[in-house]
């Protein structure tokens, strides 16, 4: 039963990810991306990481996709005003994507997949909030704090960029 659900979620995730790439309408691409995010959240639930599934749905399918839709609506993408891409640029993009594929395959080449006996030995509290918090604030405390400082610096930068200059008449 679980393997059938895994295969179904995987099929939905791959199909909707392909539809993101091949869809002509950017709004439809964003909607297909939301379906992909929900399928990935389903994988988290299958791995008994319910907290990560909920956070994934809230952050990605909620906040990030709303921002994507907002940007797409602001850009007002018209096909008439889109510049034509040259064949050299398309060829360079194909070469770069092929090189990225080679790098990804090379990085995953040395990894081992879980065997069926090891997959059954996974703890039921593996994706729980308590264990996640313990790992986050013990093993990964320094990267967590660095990320928070970077987010704070980005927020201050956005406020400074958005702040209008006041002209004073003396």
Task: Please report, for the chain, the start and end positions of each structural domain, with discontinuous segments joined by +.
Answer: 1-76
Stronger pLDDT, 153 or 127, i.e. the higher one: 153
**Three-state DSSP class for 100?**
helix
> What fold does the segment set 1-76 form as a domain?
1.20.120
Band the pLDDT of 105: cuts 50, 70, 90: confident
Contacting residues for 17 by C-beta, under 8 A, at least 6 apart: 32, 33, 36
**pTM of the predicted structure, to 2 decimals:** 0.55
- The answer to whether the beta carbons of residues 34 and 56 sit under 8 Å apart is no
Q: At which residue do the structure tokens 């990964």 appear? A: 140
At 42-58, the pLDDT tens digits run 999 998 888 888 888 88
Per-residue pLDDT, 78 = 59
């Amino acid at each position: 039963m679980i393997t059938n659900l895994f295969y179904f979620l995987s099929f939905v995730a791959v199909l909707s990810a392909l539809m993101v790439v091949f869809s002509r309408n950017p709004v439809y691409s964003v909607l297909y991306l939301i379906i992909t995010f929900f399928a990935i959240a389903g994988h988290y639930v299958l791995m008994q990481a319910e907290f990560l599934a909920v956070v994934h749905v809230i952050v990605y399918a909620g906040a990030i996709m709303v921002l994507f839709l907002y940007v797409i609506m602001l850009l007002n993408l018209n096909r008439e005003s889109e510049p034509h891409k040259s064949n050299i640029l398309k060829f360079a993009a194909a070469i770069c994507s092929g090189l990225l594929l080679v790098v990804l395959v090379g990085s995953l080449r040395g990894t081992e997949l879980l065997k069926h006996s090891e997959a059954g030995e996974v703890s039921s509290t593996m994706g729980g909030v308590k264990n996640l918090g313990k790992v986050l604030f013990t093993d990964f405390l320094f990267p967590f704090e660095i990320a928070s400082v970077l987010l704070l610096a980005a927020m201050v930068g956005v406020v400074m960029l958005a702040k209008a200059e006041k002209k004073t008449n003396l």
